[in-house]
Structure formats: C-alpha cells, structure tokens
Amino acid sequence: MKAYQLLLAGALMMGFATTALAQTDTKAIVEQTTQIIKAKSSDFEKQVKDLYKNNKKDANALVAIGRTFYNNKDYDHANQFADYALAKSSKCAPAFILKGDICVSNDDAGGASQNYQQAIYFAPKNPEAYYKYAMILRGRNPEDAVATLETLRQQVPDYPVDALAARIYYHTKNPNLQKAEQYYGKVADVTKMDDEDIKDYATIEWMLGNKDKSIEIAKAGLTKDPKWSTLNRLVFWNSTDKNYTDQALEYADRLFNRSDSANITADDYAYYGTALKQAKRWDDAIKAYNTSLDSLSKDANAIVSKPILYKNLSDAYNEKGDYDKALEYVEKSIEVKDNPSFNDYNSLGSQYLEIASKKGQAGDKAGERDAFKKADQMYAKITDKYPEQANYCNYVRGSINAALDPDSKLGLAKPFYEALANDLESKADRTENQTAMLKTAYQYMIVYEFNVKKNKAAAKVWAEKMLNIDPTNEIAKQVKAL
C-alpha cells in the first residue's frame, strides 16, 4: 500500500465519520445491504439489482449502499452505486467522496484528488472532502495540504482546522514537529480536541524535549479519561526525566495498575528503575532494570538497550555502595556494544577512578589499588585505539600512577607526564585545559627530579619551563633560585 493510502486510512480513523446523507434515513438500507453482502447467496447479483431498482430515485440512498459495499471491500459495486448516484444527481458531493475513497483503495491518487476536488466544488462547506483531499496532498507537499484546510476555514470559520493542520504536519513521511506543535498550540481548549490529537500533541512535545508542556497536555487529556495509558505513560516518563520523582512514581502506579489496556514495555520498566533510583530505592530500582532487561527480547520497539540498562544497573549499585557490582555492570555495558566509542571507554575508566576513590575512603586499600590499576589499563587501551587522545590519556595515567606511587619513589607517573610535556610544550595553539595539564606535568617533574632523583640541574630545567607558562609558580621560583 502506498504512503498516501496509509495516510488516508489514518485520517478515516481520526474523527471523520461517513458524510451525513441529508433527507434520507439510510439505516434500514445499510442493514439490508449488509445482510446481502454477508449472505452472498446464489442470486447475489439479482439482489444487488433490486437494491438499485428500489432506490434509484434517491441519490443519498444509492451512496449509502455504495458506502456499505466499500466498507466491505467490494470496490466494484461501491463504484457502481456511486455512479448510479451521480447519474441521478450530478452534484452529489457524497458520491464524489465515495469515488475518491475507492480511488485511494485502488492506488489511484490522481483519481482520488479529482473526485475530492469535485466534492469540494459542489459542497464547499463539507469538511470531509477538504480533509481527504489534504491527506492526498500531504504526501507531496504538506504546505499545499494545509492551504486546502485554510480554504475550509474561510468556508466554515468555527471548524477545528488547526488540529487538522497539525495532523497533516505530524502524520507525514517526514514529520515537521515544530509546525505540528505550532498548529496544536492554536487550539484554545485541548480537551475539546479528538483523543488522537491530544495524544499526538503530548507526544510531539515529549519528542521536542518540552517535558513540562507534554505533562500539561497529557494531564489535560487525563481529565477526560484518568485511565488513558498513553497519557499516564507520558506524564510518568516526562516527570522522571525532569526529576519530579514523587509525580513520576505516582503516574508509574497509574500506568502499571490503573490504566485500561496498558501494554507495559521494556521502556516503562527502565523509566521505573530510574524513578526508583531517584527515590534512593536501590533494590527496587535494580529489580525494575532487570525486568526491563528480561522484557527486551519480546519488545522489538524498545528505545532502551542492553548497554543503557547495564550502565543504569551499574549506577544503581554504585549509589547503593556495592562497588564490585557497579564495576561488573559497567564492564558489561561496554562488552555488549558492537562498536564502543571513546566516550564509552572513557566512561568506564572514569568509573574505575570513582570506585577507587570510594574504596580508598572506605579504607579498602587493596580494592582502591585494584581499581586504579584497572583504570590505568583502560586508558592504555584508549591510547592504542584513539591515538589522537594520547595527551588526555597520558594526563589521566599520570594522575593514576601518582596515586599508586604517592611518594614518587618508583617514578610511575614520570613516563606519562614526560610524554605529555614533550607534546604540549611545543604547541602554539594550546587550549586553557591543555596548559593546565602541562602545568601538572611540569610540577610533577620538578618535584620528582628534585626530591627523588636529587638532580638539582634537571629540576631547574623543568622549573624554567614552568615559569615560561606560569611566572608566579612558587615551587618553580624556589627551585630556580637554588
């Protein structure tokens, strides 16, 4: 099915009923036609002819019969009765609309456009023809589609054109979220919009990152139906993103326990884990993240992924104080990635450093040393994979090895600070951060040569270098003066 067919199919589900057929009560005719279609007896064609014979003087009845055939996917008979209606009344707009719908179902955009335009011409105040024609135009040019709706506004000033225009911009191959938001924003009372529009408006604001606005729209919709799962989800997700923890947990409960037809997803459990983590309910958060992991295999549309969930679990364990588990899961978050990035590896290295610091504060010197060594190994790996990050890695490895060798007797940090200094001191376009790193390297080398190696001359060389970039450095001034 072509794109415009899908668009129209969506439109027919979003607030448009079949055109009202004036003057004629067609209910009995529709029921009779439906029975004939379902029975499909041996004299089916005769019954169809009788339908025409008994209603041939009433164009609206003929359209109702045709529409019934259309709704049952019998497009040939539907078209036949639309033609009968036009033969009776050449200006019958509902017949042109029916023929337009048939063209859409038969993959004929040109024919659909022509028939909808005819319907507009003969019934300029009928919104259905405008909207369906706009839905055809949308596939080619949303601006032209909205222009068609603006023509409808001129004919029927109080018709909700803005919501329809928003649909045009949102339900297209390349959605224009900003334009859709702009038109939805013109609607004075959100609760008066169709349910699909309320859902779309709240979703668009979420997609644009306007979390508070999305919450506002969703809450307005929930005044119509407090058990609306999509809107409860949006308030829950947005509140989690905004750290409105109490509200997030309230609407999580509404989604999980008080919504109609709620399909709980891996993303819902992931957000729930984050909201629980914000509430410092570590064990509950860990359980929710693990449930999200278990749900991933059954949720092809999930936004969340294993790497994200493993990282979230690592954070939860870290905040709980279970540093070994924190390291286990941050390592898993890297292992399951197809192509880990520099940021991924750097994040893992930073995690090792954070764990080292916390273990040291807790008096676990062996654990501290082990975490520092893992961090050092990680930054060695980063240097190999990303040589353009060598200066940064040498700076970090210098700091790590200085911590492993606090009195500098082993000179563990020396090769890294030397390499850093050799590369940065000749750079004419150093950044402020690079200059700060260079000062750290010089400081270490001054102290190392003077205190450990007892090499005053070498220490003075490093002091001179320091004073070239930091004339007020007291240690360098003292060493130079010796």
Helices within 336-431 (DSSP H only):
342-361, 365-385, 390-404, 414-424
d(CA 263, CA 278): 24
pLDDT at 22: 44
Q: State the CB neighbour count (10 A cutoff) for residue 260.
A: 10
d(CA 282, CA 353): 22
Mean pLDDT of 313-342: 93
Quote the pTM value: 0.80
pLDDT at 16: 52
The answer to whether residue 225 scores a pLDDT higher than 80 is: yes
Phi first, then psi: give them for residue 61, nearest 5 degrees.
Answer: -65, -40
The answer to whether residue 113 scores a pLDDT higher than 50 is: yes
pLDDT at 173: 87
pLDDT at 10: 45
- Nearby residues of 472 by Cβ (< 8 Å), 6 or more positions away: none
pLDDT at 266: 98
pLDDT at 1: 39
Tell me the Cα Rg of the chain.
35
pLDDT at 457: 96
pLDDT at 25: 73
| Three-state DSSP state, 208 | coil
Grade residue 55 by pLDDT with cuts at 50, 70 and 90.
very high
How much of the chain exceeds pLDDT 70, in percent?
95
Identify which has the larger pLDDT, 281 or 2.
281
| Residue 268 CA: distances (Å) to CA of 240, 271, 298 | 11, 5, 13
pLDDT digits (tens, 9 = 90+) for 345-392: 999 999 999 999 999 999 999 999 999 999 999 999 999 999 999 999
pLDDT digits (tens, 9 = 90+) for 172-214: 889 999 999 999 999 999 999 999 999 999 999 999 999 999 9
pLDDT at 296: 96
How much of the chain exceeds pLDDT 90, in percent?
90
pLDDT at 379: 98
The answer to whether residue 127 scores a pLDDT higher than 60 is: yes
Residue spans per domain, the chain: 1-14+22-159, 411-481
- Nearby residues of 100 by Cβ (< 8 Å), 6 or more positions away: 111, 112, 113, 114, 115, 116, 119, 129, 132, 133
pLDDT digits (tens, 9 = 90+) for 10-28: 444 444 544 444 445 789 9
Q: State the CB neighbour count (10 A cutoff) for residue 441.
A: 28
pLDDT digits (tens, 9 = 90+) for 242-276: 999 999 999 999 999 999 989 999 999 999 999 99
The answer to whether residue 167 scores a pLDDT higher than 50 is: yes
Mean pLDDT of 101-108: 96
Q: Is 9 left (phi over 0), alpha (psi -120 to 50) or beta?
A: alpha
- Looking at domain 1-14+22-159, its CATH superfamily turns out to be Tetratricopeptide repeat domain (1.25.40.10)
| Three-state DSSP state, 242 | coil
Q: State the CB neighbour count (10 A cutoff) for residue 195.
A: 15
Map tokens 């041939």 to a residue. Answer: 56
Instruction: Copy the structure tokens of residue 160.
Output: 């909700």
pLDDT at 116: 98
The answer to whether residue 100 scores a pLDDT higher than 60 is: yes
Q: What is the helix, strand, coil percentage profile of the chain, to 5?
A: 75, 0, 25
The answer to whether residue 326 scores a pLDDT higher than 60 is: yes
Grade residue 140 by pLDDT with cuts at 50, 70 and 90.
confident
d(CA 438, CA 424): 7
- The number of C-alpha atoms within 13 Å of 245 and in the hemisphere containing its C-beta is 10
| Residue 209 CA: distances (Å) to CA of 214, 238, 241, 242, 274 | 9, 9, 10, 10, 18
Q: Are 417 and 444 in contact (CB under 8 A)?
A: yes
| Three-state DSSP state, 226 | coil
pLDDT at 143: 94
